[in-house]
Amino acid sequence: MVDDGNFTKLKELLESQYEWPSAYVFKFIVPQEKITEVEQLFPGHPIEKKASSKGNYTSMTVTLNLESADHVIAVYQQASKVQGLIAL
């Protein structure tokens, strides 16, 4: 799980590089058995998926239109609860 200090740095970075509201692209590497958990974080949004060569992991990409850096961080906080997820 990412600590609050990293979220503070991320918020500063997002606020300096984006003009909100804005589209934000989330990319995750997820163990195959956790795909459904990640899909549930983004109901109604299309998710691009690509399985790894051995099929153990899946790359998942989703673009959301968000109102602020705080909304981006909230998504990362929810995603960090999925065991084995790697946020890119």
Using alpha carbons only, what angle is made at residue 1 by residues 35 and 50, rounded to the nearest 5 degrees? Answer: 25
Question: What is the average pLDDT value for the chain, to the nearest integer?
Answer: 91
- Identify the pLDDT of residue 5: 63
Using alpha carbons only, what angle is made at residue 79 by residues 5 and 51, rounded to the nearest 5 degrees? Answer: 125
Residue range 50-76, pLDDT digits in tens: 999 998 999 999 999 999 999 999 999
- Identify the pLDDT of residue 10: 86
φ/ψ of 63, rounded to 5, equals -110, 125
- Identify the pLDDT of residue 4: 58
As a whole number, mean pLDDT of residues 15-33 equals 94
Task: Name all domains of the chain by residue range, CATH numbers in brackets.
Answer: 4-87 (3.30.70.240)
